[in-house]
Amino acid sequence: MPVEEIEELYQMIGSSLKHRFPGYQAWVLTGNEKGMHAIGLRPSRRIALFNGAIPCKFLKFELYDGSKKFKKEAVD
């Protein structure tokens, strides 16, 4: 896979996790900082580690339907 397509791959992973696995937890091991952000989900836990000599992050995602952003209701 060309390096230019890695971010697209991570976007597809994030989209699949979000839409196909609500209610689950997912862990992703990545050594690619841009890819980590391209997932598009906020990790609930980050663990820094090494895969051999490669610095990596082990990311935990709590998957859910919708958004966790608090929406204020309009007050009349």
DSSP state of 3: G
Q: What is the DSSP string of 18-29?
A: HHH-TT-EEEEE
pTM over 0.85? The answer is no
Q: What ranges do the domains of the chain cover?
A: 1-22+38-66
* pLDDT value, residue 22: 96
For the stretch 7-27, pLDDT in tens is 999 999 999 999 999 999 999
Provide the 3-class DSSP secondary structure of residue 48. Answer: strand
